[in-house]
Structure 1
């Protein structure tokens, strides 16, 4: 029997909380264990020793009263180290996207995403993947005009690492990459970890965004990125 994915929702609009609550209530493998309206309250709950069920995934709005979601993101990660954070917001602002990714968010979705996209994002990040929702990846990769120095970054990656990075940029996940290259998933995971180290990033969206900015990957971004 698969483990139930526990979710905390940090969202200040009651109507949108109701939408997410209703959507997740239909999913047998996902349980919404807590809803709070501010990042301060989320941190209080996570740090409360009486709160004996910690979330596997935190859905985090950015535009919150008091401390914003992007400001609170590092503290949320520190308070619940194993939890994966998905930013779920109306903002496709470049600075918000990049700051969230750099702070360790495993996913970034716009509130215009469908319920099915949100549910699948929860499952993806709970399994160790990362995801940029439809439109966000394209926005980042087409709006970032500043080019990074490419030669050093490119030369630091082996041919196999470049190959895997390219497949990540095409939206393939570890299992698909393993099948495509006829290698084990464990080997793929090892290569991906080395790519993150060399690019100095924490997850697939950040690696791909940096690779596009540096010109390592061609500027023809896919609709979604997940790995």
Structure 2
């Protein structure tokens, strides 16, 4: 089955360019295009979507508002935010709502393909230039009183690797575990620290000096 993609971007020329790039891969199929969040929700209600490529700043309903709604109604749908250097603070805000990655619009086409696949594999994608700008903001939040939750040594190792953006497959290879075992450990960690998904776990790892 092909990966079903929704492109949400208010500039038509950018939408068409993104579509052309992703559909060069036979396994990817663009189900629809939307110019803002309102149009995106309408498409989501009609079609099954695996991953959304979404801009932050759009008229009507922006990427931040759309992320909240999508993650509430369709929590399993992946979201890859397409950002610019001017959007880094806004992009950072969407982390808490469960986005799966950030990529600069100036990235090479192959970077986009890699980012899409990494999101689908369960990784947290941070384009290196985006990470350089966003990580200081995350680290600054460590001034807040850290939350200490008893995790086993294995769970701490896995939380650290999730914080580094590793996929389940990469974690399994690194720790010589099966992917199923890694998934079970992550489920246990999420329950222990009281967060919803691996994106929030990654933030937790950064704030608590695990990374």
**Which of 57, 67, 73 is the aligned partner of 2:67?**
73
1:225 counterpart residue number: none
Find the partner of 1:86 among 80, 84, 91.
Answer: 80
Determine the structure 1 residue equivalent to 2:180.
186
> Aligned residues, how many?
209
User: Which residue of 2 is the match for residue 96 of structure 1?
Assistant: 90
Offset, 1:136: 2.5
Taking the aligned partners of 1:195 and 1:92, their CA distance within structure 2 comes to 34
Q: How far does residue 123 in structure 1 lie from its aligned partner after superposition?
A: 1.8
Query: Is 1:158 paired with 2:156?
Result: no
The runs of 4+ residues in structure 1 deviating greater than 6 Å are none
Give the alignment of 1:45-124 within 5 angstroms. Answer: 45-47=43-45, 51=46, 53-91=47-85, 93=87, 95-124=89-118
Is this contact kept in 2: 1:141–1:209, CA < 8 A?
no
> Distance in 2 between the 1:25 and 1:179 partners?
30
Task: Return the alpha-carbon distance in structure 2 between the equivalents of residues 178 and 94 of structure 1.
Answer: 31
Distance 1:35 1:41, change over 3 A: same
Q: Do 1:46 and 1:79's aligned partners in 2 also have CA atoms closer than 8 Å?
A: no
Q: Distance in 1 between matches of 2:163 and 2:75?
A: 27
The whole-number CA distance in structure 2 between the counterparts of 1:74 and 1:169 is 22
Q: Which has the higher contact order (CA 8 A, sep 6+)?
A: 1
Distance in structure 2 (CA, Å) of the matches to 1:178 and 1:90: 33
1:39 and 2:37 aligned = yes
Match of 1:214 in 2: 208
More helix as a share of residues:
2
- In 2, the alpha carbon distance for the partners of 1:89 and 1:127 equals 21
For residues 141 and 122 of structure 2, the distance between their equivalents in structure 1, rounded to whole angstroms, comes to 30
CA separation in 2, counterparts of 1:131 and 1:159? 25
Q: Contact 1:102/1:201 (CA < 8 Å) preserved in 2?
A: no
Moved more, 112-121 or 74-83: 74-83
SS of match in other structure, 1:35: strand
Residue 201 of structure 1 aligns to a residue whose secondary structure is coil
Deviates more, 1:173-182 or 1:97-106: 173-182
- Return the offset for 1:87: 1.2
Sort the Cα spacing of 1:95 and 1:170 in 2 relative to 1 into closer, same or farther, 3 A.
closer
Matched, 1:176 2:170: yes
> Alignment partner of 1:188: what SS?
helix
* C-alpha deviation, 1:139, in angstroms: 2.5
The normalised TM-score by structure 1 is 0.80
Q: Distance in 2 between matches of 1:83 and 1:146?
A: 27
Q: Alpha-carbon deviation of 1:161?
A: 1.2
Stretches of structure 1 lacking an aligned partner (at least 5 in a row): 218-227
